[in-house]
Amino acid sequence: MIYFYDSPLGPISYEWDGETCQHVWLDKHEAAENNDENPVSQWFDAYFNAGKRPLPPLAEPATPFQTVMRGGLLNIPAGEVRTYGEIAKVLHTSPRAMGQALGANPLPILIPCHRVIAADGLGGFACGLEWKKKLLKFERGF
């Protein structure tokens, strides 16, 4: 089922199947319902109120590399950034491969791909650079 979360930064929709979060979209899907009783909504409540809460159960990564990538991204503290090159070095891959994998992240914010930037600027973000800017600015205010 697709649910809607009305964040202070803009609408968020997510797919919660009753056991795991399958996908997050940084917009409002037409079919989305509001529900604050599931772990994803509760995690967003904590996140947007500068609180800490364990991640809700997430869909399994599609590849072994995505498993490793998730771990690397989750180690970047809120309010901090790393470059594609820095993350790629830690994960023993190339910055280009890192960028491609980040672009395929189905769980933005939960798996914080917005915290990875280019050496010479923001880099890309599958959900749009405006969202990336808003998220980084928000987290730096914690």
Which amino acids are annotated catalytic? 113
Q: Which residues pair with 83 in a beta bridge?
A: 117
CB 59 within 8 Å of CB 20: yes
Taking the C-alpha atoms of residue 31 and residue 19, their distance in angstroms, rounded to an integer, is 19
Residue with tokens 């500068």: 50
Separation of alpha carbons 142 and 30, rounded Å:
32
Name the pairing type of β-strands 2-7 and 33-34. parallel
Number of CB atoms found within 10 A of residue 7's CB: 17
Query: CA-to-CA distance for 52 and 70, rounded, in angstroms?
Result: 18
